Every structure is written in structure tokens, then in C-alpha cells.
Structure 1
Amino acid sequence: MFKNTFLIILAAVLVSGCATETRYVDPAADDGPVSMSLDYRDFDRAATEAVEDMLASGVVDNPNGGRYIMVVSRITNDTMQRVDTDRLVKKIRVALLRSGKVVTTTAVGLNGAEDEMSMRARELRDSEEFDQSGVQRKGTLQAPDLSLSGKLMQKNHQLGGEQRVEYSIQLTLTDLATGLAFWEGETPIIKQGSGKSVSW
């Protein structure tokens, strides 16, 4: 009995001693190990490059003044990973909003409104339960000028005992009035490491 208790305590001490301590990571100074899969650092880089290039090109400078209205179209994930493309898109949206040149509409989208409340709030018209002076009027929603679409791609290469994974984040900004691509950008992300590493 004593021997079993001692072994249990010893095992618990050894396991707790080997456990990795949880800690915060500063994204601005993250020099941790690089994985073969896409991570937040890759999305940060791609979003930063895309927005800086858009701003430098002048494509989001509205000649009529004011800000362009952008809608997010389809961002296709053609990699081997389950990637939430919203992580990339959100960073782009935030940066463009902060630039003062672009706002994003959440009232329309390929799969319906991102925020359904824009239309739900308008269903309150003529309801006797609501003060109509505060209900949104007809003709106040703003149609988008620009559409952001894109694709995430991946290609793996075996190099002896190592592997190289080539990612490509491709983005297009389309003028909805003409259907013309006003801006296109591509961020290559290439990683090389052990052939035993998993990239999905």
C-alpha cells in the first residue's frame, strides 16, 4: 500500500516537473519556433503587405472625396489546412478602416449579410411598439464600391530529408461599377524544414 502511494506521488511530481509552463506571447516580438503550417504571423505579414501596397498605389484614394465602401467576397482556401480566412480578412479590414480611406459594409455578402441586424432593424417600421423617429428610414443603406476576393494556395516539395512548403496568398480588389480589378497582390510564404513536419 505504502509502495503504491509512493509511486503515485513520484509519478505526479515527475509529470508536473516536466509540464510546460503556460505564458503569454507578445505578437510584436514573437520569435518562437516556426511551424510548417500557416500561423498568425503569416496572416499579419500578408495583410500588412496587401494594405501597404493598396495605400501606396493610390487605388483606395477616392477622387470624389470620402471613403470607398468595400464588401468582402469569396476568399477560397486551397491549402491542405483548415484555415479560417476571416483571420486574414479581418486584419485587412481593420487596417483599411484605420487608414480613413475604406469602410466595409456588413449589410450584404455572398452568403447573406454579415450582420443581419441592418435589415432586422428596418422590420420595425410601422410597428406601434417602437418610436418611429428612431427607426431607420428607407434608402439609407450604402451599396459597396469595391469587392475584396482572394485565394490561399499551397504546394509541397520533398527535398531529400527535408520539405519545402510554398504558400501563396492572392488578393484582388474589384471595382463593382466596371467589374475591373483595380488592384491585385500576391504574398509568397515559403517554409523549409524537416520532412517529418506536418503542414496541415
Structure 2
Amino acid sequence: MKITKPFYKTITAITLGLTLTLVGCSSNVEYVTKDNAEDAVTLGLDNQDFEQAAQESLNSLLTSNALNKPGGGRYVVAIGKMINDTTIRIDTDMLVKKIRIGMLQSGKAVVTTAVAGDNKNVDDLIYDVRELRDNDEFKQQTIAGKGTLYAPDLSLTGKIAQRIARTGKNKQLVEYYLQLTLTDIKSGLAYWENESVVRKLGSNKSTAW
């Protein structure tokens, strides 16, 4: 079948129009601010959200002086439970990792992987190697002895909460709260707390999971 130029131009125009429409729909992903509140359409969380919330929390922690140990030296921090109280699946380690790195780079704290609020943040090899103390195949002087592990001074725990509200005009607002607490283990007193909020606005037909 021979395609005439007018027919070809018509098909090309339709294809271009559909492409522009699809690109326009898929690229309108924004955070909610006072300037773009009517345009934001995404309700879920992505890597940029994790980076933003974690960086805000880290900045708050490092400027709070909560990690300034009296007399100098570094605190030993354990990662406690991180609760995901939202309707979406969240890898809480992604949020905590940036904060852990920031604490280590600050020179004010070290993070223990010998104890944690869940198994994800515990290095099992620490204990597996200690089970080799009676194994004649290993030089016993190279195996960590008893009483060499450091107990944590502080515990970092957190929760990710979610609130969904209708805002009118067929819109819904979804807010994600990253709440963190740094607790002194000996006294049980909270040294630092922070809440970072990520807000998303989208259609009532959209879902947050």
C-alpha cells in the first residue's frame, strides 16, 4: 500500500501529539510548596524524598550538640527500631544510612553493629567469629577475646508516619513524617528529637502505595 504525503503527515502529527501528552503527564512530579501546590500530582515516596528527609534530620542532629561528648571522645550509637507506620512499603535502612554516614564523618560518634533494634543492623559475623575460640584450625590469639565489645551509649530510634487528607477540588494531601529520637541508654533521657515532613498533593483517584 502506498502512503500519500498528506496521510503520512496526519499520522506523524497524531503520533507527536500523543507523545507530548504522555510526556506531559509523566513529568509533572513536584513537591508541595506555596507556589506549586495546585500542580503536584505524585503521592508516593522516592529516593529524593529519602535524601531530603534524612539530610534535614542529619543537619538537625549535628547542630544540636547532642553528639558533643563531655570530656571529648566519641559516643557509641546503636540503631534501634525504625517503624514504618504508612500504607506503603519503605526500606527504612535507606533513611537511616545517610544519618549513620553523617554521624561517622562528623567524628563525634561511632555506630555499633553488635547490637541493634532489629537483625538488619546487626553484623552476625561478629558473633560467628567468636564461636571459633575452641577451633584448633584458627590461631586463637587472632580471635577477639571476651569483654572486647563496646556497649552503646546512645540509641537512635524512629518512626515514619503518614496522614492523608482531602483538600477539595478533587485533590488529596499526603504527608509523611520522619520522626527520630536519640536516647541516652543509661538514663533513658532523650538527648535529641526531630521531625521532617514530606508533603505530596495529587488527585483523589491516585494512591499513595
TM-score past 0.5 threshold: yes
**Residue in 2 that maps onto 1:50:** 57
| Superposed counterparts of 1:69-88, under 5 Å | 69-88=76-95
* Residues 150 and 132 (structure 1), Cα distance of their counterparts in 2 relative to 1, 3 Å cut: same
String of CA shifts for 1:112-168, please: whole Å, max 9, x gaps: 571111111111113211111211111111110110111111111122311111111
CA distance in 2, matches of 1:143, 1:32: 48
Shift of 1:64: 2.8
AA aligned to 1:169 is L
> What does residue 5 of structure 1 align with?
none
Q: Tell me the matched-pair count.
A: 172
- Residue 199 of structure 1 aligns with an amino acid whose one-letter code is A
Equivalent residue number for residue 153 of structure 1: 161
Using the alignment, how far apart are the partners of 1:177 and 1:52 within structure 2?
Answer: 25
Q: How far apart, CA to CA, are the structure 2 residues paired with 1:52 and 1:187? A: 11
Give distance in 2, aligned partners of 1:102 and 1:47: 17
> Out of 101, 124, 127, which is 2:132 matched to?
124
CA distance in structure 2 between the aligned counterparts of 1:62 and 1:44, rounded to whole angstroms: 27
**TM-superposed deviation, 1:195:** 2.1
Give the Cα–Cα distance (whole angstroms) in 2 for the partners of residues 55 and 110 of structure 1: 22
RCO (CA 8 Å, sep 6+): is it higher in 1 or 2?
2
Percent of residue pairs bearing the same amino acid type: 47
Q: CA RMSD in A?
A: 1.9
SS where residue 199 of structure 2 aligns? strand
Measured at CA, do residues 67 and 189 of structure 1 come closer, stay the same or move farther in structure 2, by a change above 3 Å? same
Partner of 1:64: 71
The secondary structure found in structure 2 opposite 1:124 is: coil
Correspondence for 2:175 among 163, 166, 169: 166
* Gapped regions of structure 2 (runs ≥ 5): 1-14, 20-26, 31-41
Counterpart residue identity of residue 72, structure 1: I
Deviation at 1:186, TM superposition (A): 0.4
Query: Within 1, Cα distance between the matches of 2:117 and 2:180?
Result: 17
The runs of 5 or more residues in structure 1 that have no matched partner are: 1-13, 19-30
Normalising by structure 1, report the TM-score: 0.80
| TM-score (structure 2 length as normaliser) | 0.77
